[in-house]
Each structure stands twice: as C-alpha cells, then as structure tokens.
Amino acid sequence: MPQTPPFTEQLGPSGYQNSYQTTEDSRAGLCYQDNNLVSGSLEALIQHLVPTVEYFPDRTYIFTFLLSSRLFIHPYELMSRVCYLCMEQQRLSDAHTDETQVRNLAPRMVQLLTEWTETFPYDFKDERMMCSLKQLTQRLANGDQVYRKAVVQMSQGLLRRLTVLSQYEEALSKINATAAEQLTAVKVKPQVTIHKDLLSICSDPFTVAQQLTHIELERLGYIGPEEFVQAFVQMDPLDNDTVTFRTNTLEAYVEWFNRLSYLVATEICMSVKKKQRVRVIEFFIDVARECFNIGNFNSLMAIISGMNMSPVSRLKKTWSKVKMAKYDILEHQMDPSNNFYNYRTALKGATQRSITANSNREKIVIPFFSLLIKDIYFLNQGCVNRLQNGHVNFKKFWELAKQVSEFMTWKKVECPFEKDRRILQYVLTAPVFTEDDLYLASYDSEGPENNMEKDRWRTLRFDVGHILIPTCMLLNK
C-alpha cells in the first residue's frame, strides 16, 4: 500500500491545490495522487490508522489524522473504533486467539497509543477515552513481559502529562486571582496603596524581553495541537459533549497577549508627568526591539498594540518628545499591509535560523499567535472538509498538519534565559486597567481636544474618576 510522505515532501510547490493523476485503492477506499494519500472515506482512513502484524502507519499520517479527525468524530469515538478494529482484525476477543498474534501485534499497538498519548494527551482528559485505553492496554499487557512494561511506561507518562496540565491550570487560576486582588486593592484603597511601575523593578530592556520570552514559551508549551482544530469545531449547543472541545490553554495564551498590551498602556497612561511617560514609551520600544532580536514576535506585537491603543496614541504632546526612529522600524516590521508581508519575511528568517541553530537562544521562534490562528482558520474555511464523493479531503489536512507541526517544533524550545521572579511576578499580576480607566488617565494627562472627548471625559469622571484619580497620583510618588 502507498505510504504517507513526510510533511516536507507530500506537497508540491503550489501546495495542496495541485492537480495530479489520481489512483484509487478500491479495497481500502483511499485515493492517491503521485503515491500521496489525498482523500478517503472516514472508515477507510480509520482503518489506515490501525496497525496490523504486517503494517504500521507512517508517523506523519498518525499525526495528521489524529489532528483532523476531530472535525468528523469525537476522539473517544475514534478510540473506541480503533480498539474495535484491532480486536476484530486480529480476533483478539476470541478466547482461542493464538498468543503469538497478540505478541506480534502488541508492539505496534503500543507504539500507536504512545504516539497518541504523547502528542494529544488532552484527549485523555475524557473518562471515556481512558476507559477504552485501559481496556486495550490490559489486553496488550497480557502478552510478553517487555510489552507489559511498555504499556505501564506509556500509561505512567500519560498520567504525568495530565497531572502537569492540571497543576498548570491551577497555577493560572492563582495568578489571575492575585492580579484581580491587586487591582481591587488599588481601586478600593488607593490612599494606602503603593503602586510600583515596571521601570522601578528593572530598567534593562533586554532582561525584561527575556522574562517575557519565559512567559511566552511556558504558555506555548501547554497548548495542545488539537486545540487549533477544536477551536473551529461547531458542536450542537444541546450536546453535552461540548465540554470535550474546551480550549483552556489556548484561551489563556490569547488572554496573556491582551494582558501585556493593556499593561503597556497602563504603565504609560498612569504616569502623570510627561517626562516620565516619554521615558516609559521609549523603554517599551527598547523592550520590543529586544523581543524582535530574540525571535519573540508575539510579545513584540503585544507591546506595539498597547502603544497603539487610543488612550496612548492620543497623547500627542508626549509622542512629540519620543525618539521615533526605533519605533518606526518596529512598526514597519509588523506592518499589516500585504498580509503582514514584512512580518512573514522576518518569521521565515527566524525559522531558518532556528533550523540551523546550535543553541536554544538561536532556536527561539514565537509567532504572532493571533495571525497564526487566523491563518489556520482561513485554511479551514477556505477548503471543504469533504469532497463531492463523500471522501474526507486529506489534501487540506496535510497542509493543516504542516502548519501545526511547525508550531509544535517552536513550542518545544527550552528557554535559555535565567528567570527573574520579581519581573515575572510584576508582569503577571500588576494591576491592569480597563479602556475607560486608561482614557480617564489619558485625559487627565493631556486634556480633551474636541467636544466628543470632553463629553467622554465628563462621563468617565462621574463614573470612575473618584476611584482612579488618586491611584494615578500614586504612580509618581
């Protein structure tokens, strides 16, 4: 049977839209072009996933199918189907099964399950997944002692990964709770709150950029590849299985981007004196430049987004004193025109550097995450999941897997920089104000310039001004 090729070889220069001579394996219900799998019935693709004594699927096929199959079938249903096919094909459910068959199949099934549990561990948060996994592994473990040991190692590895994920989610909850408490303390009792700023903790842009990179790589590391697909799965709101498709770690990462943007805006707007605001803006420009040099494009864009927020951008007197040369270069690099051409060029360069790098420092590639999600979204929306003959459009999913696989490589890089707990604690928990709070602080720093701004200023002063104004004054004590 034709094999599935590596990601780097399975697509032509024009991507998955190329047209080749098509051949079909009618027995398996799979369709190939130039020996590459391009479509098939869902049942045939599931069959192609299940090992036999003579056959084991290519790793690229395993990853691609496990990634994309959730658009058609729940992971727990797929696991149940895989278990059934394994038992059916090898007649493992028969009490008179030759144990030699079990021993021959066991290493291949363990290898498949290991691939699944290591790459998509979040699937196994579902009790039904764990139930099917235990049933099959118990059957496999009845064979040779070597396979029994492999099954135990696989199960223990899965439990460790799920435990680490649970601990990470608990840590996120504590961090968010601390941030909320600090914000409440600043707003409720501003007269007794001493509110620091980032510059008072660290004035070295490179060190701050390193700490932002720590946060980025840690949070990227917990994003499972399946979350890119599950984010687009539209489940029936009445379906109780919707909980299976939650994407907590992906959402937490997007929230981190928003927090960093608002933190930058808060640090700028809460500085009452113009000279201090200029200093803060220039500091964040330097931090953003260091992020660019490191390959941390997500923090770079978050910082630029914070400086481009309306409460900050309207501070014309402040910006007139800022040295703009470095900022203009950064804005040019992240210019959204031509589908972010400049950024994509820089990302490509960072990716090439990463491939040939000898150190973790040079391997760092942290993409502008919102754009990555958008690219994957449009790929998903731009091509049909099923062809007219009912086959799954596997061409599309090769390309989807190619993009997600590249992300998987980036997120595995271990951060080489030493942690600074004070900076990390501040960046993750310092009070971050709402847009209304920022506007009020901005108007207090540089008065409203037209009637619309004056009306908004009066409204804001009535609603939140009595809380925020004392807080603003504390920033410069």
What CATH number is attached to the domain comprising 350? 1.10.840.10
417 in a domain, yes or no?
A: yes
Together in a domain, 271 and 420 = yes
Can you give the pLDDT at residue 242?
A: 37
For residues 82 and 206, membership in a common domain is answered with no
- Residues with Cβ within 8 Å of 191's Cβ and at least 6 positions away in sequence, in order, are 470
Residues of the chain with pLDDT under 70: 1-28, 89-103, 142-144, 187-195, 231-247, 464-477
Q: Domains in the chain: how many in total?
A: 2
Buried b (16+ CB within 10 A) or exposed e, 222-251: bbbbbbbbbbebeeeeeeeeeebbebebbe
And the tokens for 105?
């199949």
Residue 172 lies in a domain: no
Q: Which of 159, 178, 207 is the last residue of a domain?
A: 159
Question: In this structure, what CATH number is given to the domain that contains residue 79?
Answer: 1.20.870.10
Residue 90: predicted pLDDT: 59
Q: What is the CA radius of gyration of the chain?
A: 27
> Which range of residues forms the domain containing residue 213?
194-233+245-441+448-452
Residues 428, 325 share a domain:
yes
The position carrying tokens 């600074």 is 420
Residue 470: predicted pLDDT = 42
Task: Report if residue 179 sits inside a domain.
Answer: no
pLDDT computed for residue 229 by the predictor: 84
Same-domain pairing of 118 and 222: no
In this structure, are 227 and 127 located in the same domain? Answer: no
Residues 274 and 395 in one domain: yes
pLDDT at 149: 85
- 150 plus 205 within the same structural domain: no
Helix (H) or strand (E) holding 398: helix 394-411
- Distance of alpha carbon 466 from alpha carbon 464, whole angstroms: 6
23 in any annotated domain: no
Looking at the structure, tell me whether residues 204 and 139 fall in a common domain.
no
Does residue 459 lie within any of the structural domains?
A: no
On whether residue 277 sits in a domain, the answer given is yes
Which of 136, 159, 182 lies at the terminal end of a domain, its last residue? Answer: 159
The predicted pLDDT at position 315 comes to: 96
281 and 373 part of one domain: yes
154 and 205 housed in the same domain:
no
Is residue 294 within 8 Å of 210, Cβ to Cβ? Answer: yes
Q: Is 188 exposed, middle or buried (0-12, 13-18, 19+ CB in 10 A)?
A: exposed
Q: What does the alpha-carbon distance between residue 446 and residue 94 come to, in Å, rounded to a whole number?
A: 81
* CA dist list (Å): 336 to 171, 331, 369, 374, 411: 35, 9, 14, 13, 24
Statement to judge: residues 329 and 383 lie in one domain:
yes
- Gap between the Cα atoms of 392 and 368, Å rounded: 30
Q: 147 and 273 share a domain?
A: no
Quick check: is 294 in a domain?
Answer: yes
- pTM of the full predicted structure? 0.86
pLDDT at 144: 66
pLDDT tens, residue by residue, 14-52: 333 333 344 555 346 899 998 899 999 999 999 999 998
Within a domain: 300 = yes
Domain boundary among 144, 159, 174: 159
